[in-house]
Chain A
Amino acid sequence: MSDPEAESKALTGFWIYLMTDCVLFASLFATFAVLRNNTYGGPGGDELFSLPFVLTETLILLTSSFTCGLGMLSARMGSKKQVLFWFALTFLLGVAFLGLELSEFHRLAAEGNNWRRSGFLSAFFTLVSTHGLHITAGLLWMAVMMYKTARRGLTTGNVRKLTMLSLFWHFLDVVWIFIFSIVYLIGAL
Protein backbone atom coordinates (compact mmCIF):
# COMPACT_ATOMS: atom_id res chain seq x y z
CA MET A 1 0.00 0.00 0.00
CA SER A 2 2.27 2.71 -1.13
CA ASP A 3 0.50 4.42 -3.98
CA PRO A 4 -1.70 7.40 -3.19
CA GLU A 5 -4.78 5.83 -4.72
CA ALA A 6 -4.67 2.85 -2.36
CA GLU A 7 -4.08 5.26 0.53
CA SER A 8 -7.14 7.30 -0.32
CA LYS A 9 -9.23 4.12 -0.71
CA ALA A 10 -8.18 2.97 2.76
CA LEU A 11 -9.14 6.34 4.22
CA THR A 12 -12.51 6.27 2.45
CA GLY A 13 -13.14 2.82 3.94
CA PHE A 14 -12.41 4.15 7.40
CA TRP A 15 -14.62 7.18 6.73
CA ILE A 16 -17.52 4.86 5.89
CA TYR A 17 -17.03 3.11 9.24
CA LEU A 18 -17.26 6.52 10.93
CA MET A 19 -20.51 7.26 9.10
CA THR A 20 -22.05 3.99 10.37
CA ASP A 21 -20.94 5.01 13.85
CA CYS A 22 -22.92 8.24 13.30
CA VAL A 23 -26.02 6.09 12.83
CA LEU A 24 -25.30 4.24 16.09
CA PHE A 25 -25.03 7.53 17.97
CA ALA A 26 -28.13 8.89 16.22
CA SER A 27 -30.22 6.00 17.54
CA LEU A 28 -28.90 6.62 21.06
CA PHE A 29 -29.60 10.36 20.73
CA ALA A 30 -33.13 9.60 19.54
CA THR A 31 -33.65 7.28 22.53
CA PHE A 32 -32.39 9.97 24.88
CA ALA A 33 -34.55 12.67 23.31
CA VAL A 34 -37.64 10.47 23.65
CA LEU A 35 -36.94 9.49 27.29
CA ARG A 36 -35.69 12.93 28.36
CA ASN A 37 -38.68 13.74 30.57
CA ASN A 38 -39.35 10.21 31.83
CA THR A 39 -37.70 10.73 35.20
CA TYR A 40 -40.12 8.48 37.12
CA GLY A 41 -40.30 11.00 39.95
CA GLY A 42 -36.50 11.14 40.16
CA PRO A 43 -34.22 14.09 39.47
CA GLY A 44 -33.97 15.59 35.98
CA GLY A 45 -30.97 17.02 34.20
CA ASP A 46 -31.37 20.47 35.77
CA GLU A 47 -30.76 19.00 39.24
CA LEU A 48 -28.05 16.51 38.33
CA PHE A 49 -25.55 18.25 36.06
CA SER A 50 -22.98 20.87 36.93
CA LEU A 51 -22.54 23.17 33.92
CA PRO A 52 -18.99 24.47 34.67
CA PHE A 53 -17.84 20.86 35.15
CA VAL A 54 -19.20 19.85 31.75
CA LEU A 55 -17.73 22.95 30.13
CA THR A 56 -14.30 21.90 31.47
CA GLU A 57 -14.75 18.43 29.94
CA THR A 58 -15.81 19.99 26.63
CA LEU A 59 -12.85 22.37 26.44
CA ILE A 60 -10.41 19.56 27.32
CA LEU A 61 -11.76 17.34 24.54
CA LEU A 62 -11.80 20.23 22.06
CA THR A 63 -8.16 21.05 22.87
CA SER A 64 -7.20 17.40 22.45
CA SER A 65 -8.85 17.42 19.02
CA PHE A 66 -6.74 20.47 18.13
CA THR A 67 -3.46 18.95 19.39
CA CYS A 68 -4.29 15.77 17.46
CA GLY A 69 -4.58 17.91 14.31
CA LEU A 70 -1.20 19.49 15.04
CA GLY A 71 0.18 15.95 15.43
CA MET A 72 -1.03 15.13 11.92
CA LEU A 73 0.60 18.28 10.53
CA SER A 74 3.91 17.18 12.06
CA ALA A 75 3.41 13.69 10.62
CA ARG A 76 3.07 15.16 7.13
CA MET A 77 6.17 17.22 7.66
CA GLY A 78 7.95 14.04 8.73
CA SER A 79 9.00 15.12 12.20
CA LYS A 80 8.80 12.05 14.41
CA LYS A 81 9.70 13.93 17.60
CA GLN A 82 6.88 16.44 17.15
CA VAL A 83 4.39 13.69 16.29
CA LEU A 84 5.21 11.90 19.54
CA PHE A 85 4.95 15.16 21.50
CA TRP A 86 1.53 16.19 20.11
CA PHE A 87 0.03 12.73 20.36
CA ALA A 88 1.32 12.32 23.93
CA LEU A 89 -0.38 15.64 24.77
CA THR A 90 -3.58 14.47 23.06
CA PHE A 91 -3.38 11.21 25.02
CA LEU A 92 -3.03 13.03 28.35
CA LEU A 93 -5.97 15.34 27.56
CA GLY A 94 -8.02 12.29 26.57
CA VAL A 95 -7.18 10.58 29.87
CA ALA A 96 -8.14 13.77 31.76
CA PHE A 97 -11.47 13.85 29.92
CA LEU A 98 -12.17 10.19 30.66
CA GLY A 99 -11.24 10.70 34.32
CA LEU A 100 -13.68 13.60 34.64
CA GLU A 101 -16.42 11.59 32.95
CA LEU A 102 -15.90 8.59 35.24
CA SER A 103 -15.86 10.83 38.31
CA GLU A 104 -19.21 12.27 37.20
CA PHE A 105 -20.64 8.76 36.76
CA HIS A 106 -19.30 7.83 40.19
CA ARG A 107 -20.87 10.90 41.80
CA LEU A 108 -24.26 10.19 40.18
CA ALA A 109 -24.20 6.51 41.15
CA ALA A 110 -23.12 7.34 44.72
CA GLU A 111 -26.14 9.65 45.04
CA GLY A 112 -28.38 6.75 44.01
CA ASN A 113 -28.97 8.15 40.54
CA ASN A 114 -27.63 5.25 38.51
CA TRP A 115 -29.01 3.86 35.25
CA ARG A 116 -31.71 1.90 37.11
CA ARG A 117 -33.26 5.04 38.59
CA SER A 118 -35.34 6.15 35.59
CA GLY A 119 -35.76 5.94 31.83
CA PHE A 120 -34.04 9.30 31.53
CA LEU A 121 -30.96 8.07 33.41
CA SER A 122 -30.84 4.78 31.46
CA ALA A 123 -30.76 6.74 28.22
CA PHE A 124 -28.23 9.21 29.63
CA PHE A 125 -25.80 6.53 30.78
CA THR A 126 -26.13 4.53 27.55
CA LEU A 127 -25.43 7.53 25.34
CA VAL A 128 -22.62 9.11 27.34
CA SER A 129 -20.84 5.88 28.23
CA THR A 130 -20.95 4.68 24.60
CA HIS A 131 -19.04 7.86 23.78
CA GLY A 132 -16.72 7.15 26.73
CA LEU A 133 -16.07 3.62 25.42
CA HIS A 134 -15.11 5.07 22.04
CA ILE A 135 -12.74 7.46 23.80
CA THR A 136 -11.20 4.53 25.68
CA ALA A 137 -10.71 2.59 22.44
CA GLY A 138 -9.19 5.71 20.86
CA LEU A 139 -6.74 6.06 23.76
CA LEU A 140 -5.63 2.43 23.47
CA TRP A 141 -5.16 2.86 19.72
CA MET A 142 -3.21 6.06 20.33
CA ALA A 143 -0.90 4.32 22.80
CA VAL A 144 -0.22 1.55 20.27
CA MET A 145 0.43 4.06 17.48
CA MET A 146 2.83 6.08 19.63
CA TYR A 147 4.76 2.89 20.40
CA LYS A 148 4.87 1.90 16.72
CA THR A 149 5.92 5.39 15.63
CA ALA A 150 8.63 5.52 18.29
CA ARG A 151 10.00 2.15 17.16
CA ARG A 152 9.70 2.24 13.38
CA GLY A 153 9.35 5.92 12.64
CA LEU A 154 6.94 7.61 10.26
CA THR A 155 6.56 4.88 7.67
CA THR A 156 3.79 5.18 5.08
CA GLY A 157 1.71 2.63 6.98
CA ASN A 158 2.13 4.44 10.28
CA VAL A 159 1.18 7.80 8.78
CA ARG A 160 -1.91 6.23 7.22
CA LYS A 161 -2.98 4.76 10.54
CA LEU A 162 -2.26 8.03 12.34
CA THR A 163 -4.50 9.77 9.79
CA MET A 164 -7.31 7.31 10.54
CA LEU A 165 -6.78 7.76 14.26
CA SER A 166 -7.00 11.53 13.91
CA LEU A 167 -10.22 11.21 11.90
CA PHE A 168 -11.61 9.00 14.68
CA TRP A 169 -10.58 11.48 17.36
CA HIS A 170 -12.06 14.52 15.56
CA PHE A 171 -15.25 12.50 15.00
CA LEU A 172 -15.56 11.79 18.73
CA ASP A 173 -15.19 15.49 19.43
CA VAL A 174 -18.03 16.23 16.99
CA VAL A 175 -20.25 13.67 18.75
CA TRP A 176 -19.38 15.27 22.10
CA ILE A 177 -20.53 18.71 20.87
CA PHE A 178 -24.00 17.22 20.48
CA ILE A 179 -23.87 15.47 23.85
CA PHE A 180 -22.79 18.77 25.43
CA SER A 181 -25.53 20.75 23.68
CA ILE A 182 -28.45 18.36 23.78
CA VAL A 183 -27.87 16.36 26.96
CA TYR A 184 -26.24 18.93 29.22
CA LEU A 185 -27.16 22.42 27.99
CA ILE A 186 -30.76 21.73 27.00
CA GLY A 187 -31.06 19.36 29.97
CA ALA A 188 -30.07 22.17 32.34
CA LEU A 189 -32.85 24.49 31.14
Chain B
Amino acid sequence: MTRVIYAKHEAGQGSLRTYVSGFILSIILTLTAFAFVYLHVHSEHGTFSHHLLIPLIVVLAVAQLFVQLRFFLHVGRESKPRWNLMALIFAVIVVLIVVIGSLWIMSNLNYRMMSSPQLINKYLKSQGDL
Protein backbone atom coordinates (compact mmCIF):
# COMPACT_ATOMS: atom_id res chain seq x y z
CA MET B 1 0.00 0.00 0.00
CA THR B 2 2.71 2.44 1.00
CA ARG B 3 4.57 1.71 -2.19
CA VAL B 4 1.53 2.56 -4.26
CA ILE B 5 1.23 5.94 -2.57
CA TYR B 6 4.93 6.54 -3.02
CA ALA B 7 4.80 5.59 -6.68
CA LYS B 8 1.91 8.00 -7.22
CA HIS B 9 3.72 10.72 -5.34
CA GLU B 10 6.79 10.41 -7.49
CA ALA B 11 4.97 9.71 -10.71
CA GLY B 12 5.12 13.32 -11.86
CA GLN B 13 8.89 13.34 -11.60
CA GLY B 14 10.28 11.47 -14.54
CA SER B 15 9.40 9.27 -17.45
CA LEU B 16 11.31 7.43 -20.13
CA ARG B 17 10.65 10.37 -22.42
CA THR B 18 12.21 12.97 -20.13
CA TYR B 19 15.31 10.83 -19.54
CA VAL B 20 15.78 10.10 -23.25
CA SER B 21 15.32 13.73 -24.30
CA GLY B 22 17.67 14.88 -21.53
CA PHE B 23 20.28 12.36 -22.65
CA ILE B 24 20.06 13.31 -26.34
CA LEU B 25 20.15 17.06 -25.65
CA SER B 26 23.15 16.63 -23.33
CA ILE B 27 25.07 14.66 -25.96
CA ILE B 28 24.33 17.29 -28.61
CA LEU B 29 25.48 20.12 -26.33
CA THR B 30 28.64 18.23 -25.29
CA LEU B 31 29.59 17.41 -28.89
CA THR B 32 28.90 20.98 -30.05
CA ALA B 33 31.23 22.46 -27.43
CA PHE B 34 33.83 19.79 -28.17
CA ALA B 35 33.63 20.38 -31.94
CA PHE B 36 34.17 24.13 -31.59
CA VAL B 37 37.32 23.62 -29.52
CA TYR B 38 38.63 20.66 -31.53
CA LEU B 39 38.26 22.47 -34.87
CA HIS B 40 39.84 25.59 -33.40
CA VAL B 41 42.86 23.70 -32.06
CA HIS B 42 43.36 21.68 -35.23
CA SER B 43 42.95 24.44 -37.79
CA GLU B 44 46.07 26.36 -38.75
CA HIS B 45 44.98 29.86 -37.84
CA GLY B 46 42.19 29.04 -35.44
CA THR B 47 38.49 29.56 -36.14
CA PHE B 48 37.27 32.26 -33.78
CA SER B 49 39.05 34.44 -31.28
CA HIS B 50 39.26 33.31 -27.65
CA HIS B 51 37.05 36.21 -26.63
CA LEU B 52 34.25 34.57 -28.57
CA LEU B 53 35.00 30.91 -27.87
CA ILE B 54 35.27 31.10 -24.07
CA PRO B 55 31.82 32.70 -23.53
CA LEU B 56 30.41 30.26 -26.10
CA ILE B 57 31.71 27.22 -24.16
CA VAL B 58 30.39 28.65 -20.88
CA VAL B 59 26.97 29.27 -22.44
CA LEU B 60 26.82 25.69 -23.78
CA ALA B 61 27.78 24.34 -20.32
CA VAL B 62 25.08 26.43 -18.63
CA ALA B 63 22.55 25.26 -21.24
CA GLN B 64 23.45 21.68 -20.40
CA LEU B 65 23.12 22.49 -16.70
CA PHE B 66 19.53 23.59 -17.33
CA VAL B 67 18.81 20.52 -19.46
CA GLN B 68 20.04 18.14 -16.77
CA LEU B 69 18.35 20.03 -13.93
CA ARG B 70 15.07 19.82 -15.80
CA PHE B 71 15.21 16.31 -17.27
CA PHE B 72 17.42 14.35 -14.83
CA LEU B 73 16.97 16.12 -11.50
CA HIS B 74 13.35 17.19 -12.17
CA VAL B 75 13.81 20.66 -10.71
CA GLY B 76 10.69 22.80 -10.76
CA ARG B 77 8.34 19.82 -10.80
CA GLU B 78 7.82 19.55 -7.05
CA SER B 79 4.63 20.74 -5.41
CA LYS B 80 4.51 24.02 -3.50
CA PRO B 81 6.21 25.25 -1.38
CA ARG B 82 9.25 24.65 -3.55
CA TRP B 83 11.97 24.22 -0.94
CA ASN B 84 14.30 22.40 -3.32
CA LEU B 85 14.10 25.17 -5.89
CA MET B 86 14.74 27.81 -3.22
CA ALA B 87 17.79 25.93 -1.91
CA LEU B 88 19.05 25.67 -5.50
CA ILE B 89 18.61 29.38 -6.17
CA PHE B 90 20.41 30.21 -2.93
CA ALA B 91 23.28 27.87 -3.87
CA VAL B 92 23.53 29.43 -7.34
CA ILE B 93 23.79 32.91 -5.81
CA VAL B 94 26.58 31.77 -3.45
CA VAL B 95 28.40 30.03 -6.32
CA LEU B 96 28.24 33.13 -8.52
CA ILE B 97 29.48 35.40 -5.72
CA VAL B 98 32.40 33.05 -4.91
CA VAL B 99 33.49 32.48 -8.52
CA ILE B 100 32.95 35.94 -10.02
CA GLY B 101 34.16 37.65 -6.85
CA SER B 102 37.40 35.63 -6.76
CA LEU B 103 38.14 36.26 -10.43
CA TRP B 104 37.41 39.95 -10.09
CA ILE B 105 39.53 40.47 -6.97
CA MET B 106 42.47 38.46 -8.26
CA SER B 107 42.54 40.05 -11.71
CA ASN B 108 42.38 43.47 -10.10
CA LEU B 109 45.22 42.48 -7.77
CA ASN B 110 47.30 41.22 -10.72
CA TYR B 111 46.68 44.47 -12.53
CA ARG B 112 47.76 46.60 -9.57
CA MET B 113 50.73 44.41 -8.70
CA MET B 114 51.95 44.49 -12.34
CA SER B 115 52.52 40.78 -12.15
CA SER B 116 53.94 40.30 -15.66
CA PRO B 117 57.73 39.77 -15.57
CA GLN B 118 58.35 42.48 -18.17
CA LEU B 119 56.49 45.06 -16.12
CA ILE B 120 58.29 44.07 -12.92
CA ASN B 121 61.69 44.30 -14.64
CA LYS B 122 60.76 47.67 -16.08
CA TYR B 123 59.76 48.87 -12.64
CA LEU B 124 62.99 47.61 -11.04
CA LYS B 125 65.07 49.29 -13.74
CA SER B 126 63.21 52.53 -13.26
CA GLN B 127 64.24 52.45 -9.61
CA GLY B 128 67.87 52.54 -10.75
CA ASP B 129 69.10 49.84 -8.36
CA LEU B 130 69.95 47.19 -10.93
Contact = CB atoms under 8 A, between A and B. Distances in A.
Contacts of B68: 65, 170, 173-174, 177
Nearest to A70: B19
B9 A23 contact: no
Contacts of B61: 177-178, 180-182
Given A34-B102, A177-B65, A62 B84 contact: no
B91 A78 contact: no
B106 interface: yes
A119 B106 CA distance: 14
B98 A30 contact: yes
Nearest to A185: B37
Given A19-B87, A174-B65, A182-B61, A8 B73 contact: no
Interface string B58-100: 1011001100110011000010000110011011101100110
A15 B34 contact: no
Interface residues of A, number: 54
Interface string A1-15: 011100110011001
A34 to B, nearest CB: 5
A185 B57 contact: yes
Contacts of A143: none
A78 B72 contact: no
A160 to B, nearest CB: 8
Given A30-B103, A73-B15, A181-B58, A12 B34 contact: no
Interface stretch (A51-59, A93-101, A128-136): A51-59
A7 B33 contact: no
B87 A16 contact: yes
A188 interface: yes
Contacts of B102: 30-31, 33-34
Contacts of A178: 61, 65
Contact of B60 (A20, A73, A181): A181
Contact of B14 (A65, A73, A186): A73
A156 B19 contact: no
Given A3-B5, A76-B10, 18 more contacts: A3-B2, A8-B78, A15-B88, A19-B87, A19-B91, A55-B30, A62-B27, A73-B19, A174-B65, A174-B69, A177-B64, A178-B61, A180-B33, A181-B33, A185-B37, A185-B57, A188-B41, A189-B54
Interface of A: 2-4, 7-8, 11-12, 15-16, 19-20, 22-23, 26-27, 29-31, 33-34, 46, 51, 55, 58-59, 62-63, 65-66, 69-70, 72-73, 76-78, 154, 156, 159, 163, 167, 170-171, 173-174, 177-178, 180-182, 185-186, 188-189
